[in-house]
């Protein structure tokens, strides 16, 4: 099921530009974290308060067709805004290549979280550094194809 609502681009210029180029190229351009070779995906969520569609480039952490969204915000003391969107509206669209697909979202805990955290750090080691910068346990969301 496609998400509905008005798309409101990010206030951050680099996010707006990356999302626009990624989508326009079917994921062929702007598909890495700027200045690196680390792949990203674009996730569209419904705003927790506004109901508007929001799009964010997120590090690509995938295993067996499921994706992980790591709410690290670079180790900041607070969660990224999209965290609240996922909690309020646990259905998103994820684009990893030419077209988006609908995914259900659930926050991980316990052994399942530990397993996926290990996979996330193996995929992009900077996550471990981010965890040392904050007192909060970085939330992990599993995205599974609807």
| Tens digit of pLDDT at every position of the chain (146 positions) | 689 999 999 999 999 999 999 999 999 999 999 999 999 999 999 999 999 999 999 999 999 999 999 999 999 999 999 999 999 999 999 999 999 999 999 999 999 999 999 999 999 999 999 999 999 999 999 999 99
Does 113 map to a domain? Answer: yes
Rounded CA separation 84/38 (Å): 25
Rounded CA separation 89/102 (Å): 12
Count of domains in the chain? Answer: 1
* Total-model pTM: 0.95
Read off the CATH number of the domain in which 113 is found: 2.30.110.10
Identify the domain containing residue 138 by its residue range: 13-145
Does 6 map to a domain? Answer: no
Does 17 map to a domain? Answer: yes
Does 72 map to a domain? Answer: yes
**Residue 70 token pair:** 């790591």
Does 141 map to a domain? Answer: yes
């Amino acid at each position: 099921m496609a998400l509905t609502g008005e798309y409101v681009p990010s206030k951050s210029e680099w996010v707006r530009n990356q999302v626009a180029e990624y989508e326009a190229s079917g994921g062929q351009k702007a598909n890495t974290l700027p200045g690196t070779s680390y792949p990203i995906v674009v996730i569209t969520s419904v705003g927790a308060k506004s109901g508007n569609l929001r799009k964010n480039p997120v590090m690509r952490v995938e295993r067996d067709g499921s994706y992980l969204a790591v709410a690290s915000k670079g180790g900041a003391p607070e969660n990224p805004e999209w965290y609240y969107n996922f909690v309020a509206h646990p259905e998103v669209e994820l684009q990893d290549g030419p077209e988006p697909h609908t995914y259900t979202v659930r926050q991980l805990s316990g052994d399942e979280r530990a397993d996926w955290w290990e996979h996330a750090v193996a995929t992009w080691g900077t996550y471990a550094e981010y965890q040392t910068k904050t007192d909060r346990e970085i939330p992990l969301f599993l995205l599974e194809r609807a």
